[in-house]
Amino acid sequence: MGWGDLGAFGEPSKETPNLDQMAAEGMLFLDFYTANPLCSPSRAALLTGRLPVRNGFYTTNGHARNAYTPQDIVGGIPDSELLLPELLKKAGYINKIIGKWHLGHRPQFHPLKHGFDEWFGSPNCHFGPYDNRERPNIPVYRDWEMIGRYYEDFKIDLKTGEANLTQLYLQEALDFISKQQASQQPFFLYWAIDATHAPVYASKQFLGTSQRGLYGDAVREIDDSVGKILNHLQQLGISENTFVFFTSDNGAALISAPKQGGSNGPFLCGKQTTFEGGMREPAIAWWPGHIPAGGVSHQLGSVMDLFSTSLSLAGLQPPSDRQIDGINLLPVILQGKLIDRPIFYYRGNELMAVRAGLYKAHYWTWSNSWEEHGKGIDFCPGQSVSGVTTHTQEEHTYLPLLFHLGRDPGEKFPLSFASEEYQRAVGRISGLVQQHKATLVPGQPQLNVCDQAVMNWSPPGCEKLGKCLKAPESDPKKCSWPH
């Protein structure tokens, strides 16, 4: 989902009354970022509070290449990483993940081995349908074991766009919340639904209801679901005791436009890129009775801050034996403070850009390769900024491209290298980069090796269902990451 997909963020169809209401009752973050312009690394960053380059969710197979966890990935979240639910457990929290895990699907990466108590959802994206010979369909788990597979037991009709998944994930969330309220146990619910990822779907009641087509139907279903979750918290009388945060793991994927593509509002390009469209996200904090209604914040925020903020809410300290990139946003949310901190835009193993204040310096620019672009894969459809949306990886480390995101949120007009403003801003950002690089200890890259043998052939529980498939011979090789 992109920054521009909600009515509150200027989507012209204005079809998200519940999320808009959530913002009106809570705090809207206008300058909130994910940690990477795609799914797996962003989710790993959210749960560890650490940049993917630290927690291992990146590749060194190529320079500045995006990588994630398709089902032939060998790696996943290292045991050495401390995940938010592992820490929250110490304060008595029951932790549940509903939806897409995406931090590795081999046994050692199972979410219940990393702090979660319950899981309903899938380890990978809902790609498919597959033939279960070349490639198995993605399993859906309940806790330790699979209970079926996408397309087989959990229908997704790619022709009509109909699928009931968001409704299933919603019901699961409502039930979990009810259970926790009844047992008076504190909980952490990570509602990590698959929608609006392509192939886009919505359940029947939402199909055809949006001006925006199928993608809009999916957004409307998410909006409706969030409204139901918030309403449920209120009905149960625990809304003033429950902190809720809504955000996305990357900008809208414009390659899926117009049929399945979302909106990044006035920002440049989309998913896969380190331009604003790829990494600035819709973000809303909600906590009635604590967060003043109608608040708006320009705090530079990150999904990694949800790690530190959640720990703080639970009365816990972040781990002190490692670098944590997230900051505690409570002073921002509750007292309206602004904390001076940079945003680092990574693509794979490369620091592509840095934002400090309203300035953003690009050290490297790249949309995608000419080769991929020639195949019709376009991360910036209809947009082209000379020297900026480059199709070769362009290095600007000696003279970074600098933008003022207040005057030029669309990153169209680099500041003159000769200007005093440039010198001052780049001077400041260079200092931040030096500091960052000096203390950076990259983690072991987890997304380098792929192997058909590790795919979801025979997930735990497959025997009971008669759904075990025979894995091919192991043939590990470097994953191919074209972007």
H or E, element range at 194 = none
The answer to whether 249 is a known ligand-binding residue is yes
Paired strand residues for 145: 142
User: Counting contacts by CB under 8 A, is residue 410 touching its own copies?
Assistant: yes
Minimum Å distance from CB 384 to its own copies? Answer: 5
Whole-angstrom Cα distance, residue 365 to residue 313? 38
Question: Is the CB of 61 or the CB of 390 nearer to its own copies?
Answer: 390
Identify the CA nearest to 309 among candidates 321, 291, 292, 327.
327
User: Counting contacts by CB under 8 A, is residue 394 touching its own copies?
Assistant: no
User: Counting contacts by CB under 8 A, is residue 412 touching its own copies?
Assistant: yes
CA-to-CA dists, residue 15 to 4, 7, 20, 146, 257, angstroms: 12, 6, 9, 35, 18
Minimum Å distance from CB 12 to its own copies? Answer: 5
Identify the CA nearest to 84 among candidates 54, 42, 34, 45.
45
Minimum Å distance from CB 338 to its own copies? Answer: 13
Minimum Å distance from CB 412 to its own copies? Answer: 4
The answer to whether 450 is a known ligand-binding residue is no
Whole-angstrom Cα distance, residue 328 to residue 446? 27
Identify the CA nearest to 167 among candidates 158, 155, 184, 185.
155
Stretch that binds its own copies, among 142-150, 304-312, 398-406, 439-447 (CB under 8 A): 398-406
The answer to whether 175 is a known ligand-binding residue is no
The residue within the footprint of its own copies, chosen from 270, 409, 443, 461 (CB under 8 A), is: 409
- Known catalytic residue: 404? no
Neighbouring CB atoms inside 10 A of 187's CB total 20
End-to-end, the C-alpha distance of the chain in Å comes to 19
Between helix 305-313 and helix 39-48 the angle, nearest 10°, is 30
Stretch that binds its own copies, among 49-57, 144-152, 329-337, 376-384 (CB under 8 A): 376-384
Beta strands in 397-451 (DSSP E): 401-404, 449-450
CA-to-CA dists, residue 246 to 7, 284, 288, 411, angstroms: 14, 5, 15, 26
Minimum Å distance from CB 359 to its own copies? Answer: 11
Query: Which entry of 63, 102, 396, 450 is annotated as an active-site residue?
Result: 102
The residue within the footprint of its own copies, chosen from 397, 413, 416, 419 (CB under 8 A), is: 413
- Known catalytic residue: 126? no
Cβ burial 207-236 (10 Å sphere, 16+ → b, else e)? beebebebbbbbbbbbbbbbbbbbebbeeb
Minimum Å distance from CB 417 to its own copies? Answer: 16
Query: Which entry of 39, 125, 380, 479 is annotated as an active-site residue?
Result: 39
The residue within the footprint of its own copies, chosen from 50, 110, 135, 212 (CB under 8 A), is: 212
Stretch that binds its own copies, among 64-72, 81-89, 261-269, 468-476 (CB under 8 A): 261-269
The residue within the footprint of its own copies, chosen from 129, 381, 442, 476 (CB under 8 A), is: 381
CA angle 370, 374, 378 (to 5 degrees): 85
> What is the footprint of its own copies within residues 10-39 (CB under 8 A)?
10-14, 28, 30-31
> What is the footprint of its own copies within residues 287-306 (CB under 8 A)?
296, 298
Minimum Å distance from CB 474 to its own copies? Answer: 43
Between helix 214-235 and helix 17-25 the angle, nearest 10°, is 40
Paired strand residues for 190: 97
Question: Is the CB of 107 or the CB of 266 nearer to its own copies?
Answer: 266
User: Counting contacts by CB under 8 A, is residue 216 touching its own copies?
Assistant: yes
Whole-angstrom Cα distance, residue 452 to residue 134? 9
- Give catalytic residue positions: 39, 102
Residue numbering of the annotated binding site: 39, 249-250
Binding site for its own copies (CB under 8 A): 3-4, 7, 9-14, 28, 30-31, 210-213, 215-216, 257-259, 263, 265-266, 268, 296, 298, 358, 381-385, 404-410, 412-413
Residue numbering of the annotated binding site for Ca(2+): 39, 249-250
